[in-house]
Amino acid sequence: MALEDPVVITCAISGTIANRDQCPAIPYTPEEYAAEARRIVDEGGVHIHIHARMHDGSPSYEIEDFQAIKDAITEEVGDAAIINFSTGTIGVPVAKRVAYLEACRPEVAALNMGSLNYAKYSSKRKDFVFKFVFANPFDEIIELLEAMRRLQIKPEHECFDVGHVGSLTPLVDMGLLDAPLHADFVMGVVGGVPASARNLATMADNMPAGRHHWGVIGIGRVQWMLVAAALTLGGSIRVGLEDNFYLPDGEMARSNGELIAKARQMTEEVGRRPATVAEARELLGVRSPAAAAGRLTPAPAVGSPDGERGQA
């Protein structure tokens, strides 16, 4: 990637750990996901990463919940955003994850590229807030990857450490991956690569040879520093309520749209340009079913009147 490339602005709309007691803007229902997707698109986001939830906010890995969320978003924004499903979890069989990919057919699916200790630490408590082993062995990675190839779903390789980036090379050699690769470097998790601009550059330097796409995922308030670093290194960026609740000034975001608006502003202030959804599909190597049929709906113009909606 190069500084001349447009920036794919991704939004992680809702994770599975945080709840509304921590941030009232987190969507639970399909209708709330759709309203957030509209705000995201109107502010310049073109790629939406989804963890499914039930109406009470509990995490779900059921086909019907993923399908309802996808249908609601598609009805609201059409082809103006790439839809990306998470496959990262603990204790959910690969077959169950493949089942919702097969039934719902998102354009992109996240693929975690290795195992690690995954934790959050409190220096005030001198203890971990939580800690667990996030297991992603090669057997599971390959099984998910083979399913994505069969279903023509583009993998988004989520790399929590430099070794995870290195794990892409054997998969390329095995013929399981096609260029351009689409990798995101997850930084700020205790147990993964520490969050710094130098480490981000190292992650990017370890991508396999060829012209590929990469971005950064900053966890917590380090997100904005990493966004700035990625923009100056030529990468793309992800923000959203799954990763961080706060704007750079410390104010809690009232919607995903507010986080996307700040990310777009930062992109433009460093002299780069947000990608259109068509450009994002080209950079990531994906095509929507509607695009394949010649029915691609242009993304609404950034800064349109619809982009001024507040939190529902």
Question: Cβ-count burial of 308 within 10 angstroms (0-12 exposed, 13-18 middle, 19+ buried)?
Answer: exposed
Find the helix packing angle between 63-77 and 94-104, rounded to 10°: 30
pLDDT tens-place string over residues 166-187: 999 999 999 999 999 999 999 9
C-alpha–C-alpha distance, residues 108 and 181, integer Å: 12
C-alpha–C-alpha distance, residues 141 and 144, integer Å: 5
Alpha helices in 105-153 (DSSP H): 138-151
C-alpha–C-alpha distance, residues 142 and 201, integer Å: 27
Closest listed residue to residue 288, CA positions, set 81, 35, 107? 107
Q: What angle do CA 285, 243, 11 make, to 5 degrees?
A: 40
pLDDT tens-place string over residues 135-159: 999 999 999 999 999 999 999 999 9
Q: What angle do CA 263, 83, 160 make, to 5 degrees?
A: 65
**Which pLDDT does position 311 carry in this prediction?**
28
Find the helix packing angle between 30-42 and 256-269, rounded to 10°: 20
C-alpha–C-alpha distance, residues 70 and 74, integer Å: 6
Query: Cβ(18)–Cβ(24) under 8 Å?
Result: no
| Partners of 121 in the β-ladder | 128
C-alpha–C-alpha distance, residues 81 and 290, integer Å: 12
pLDDT tens-place string over residues 212-230: 999 999 999 999 999 999 9
Binned at pLDDT 50, 70 and 90, residue 294 comes out as very low
Q: Which helix (H) or strand (E) holds 239?
A: strand 236-239
Name every residue whose Cβ is closer than 8 Å to that of residue 36 and which is 6 or more positions away in sequence.
13, 14, 25, 27, 255, 256, 257
pLDDT tens-place string over residues 18-62: 899 999 999 999 999 999 999 999 999 999 999 999 999 999 999
pTM over 0.85: yes
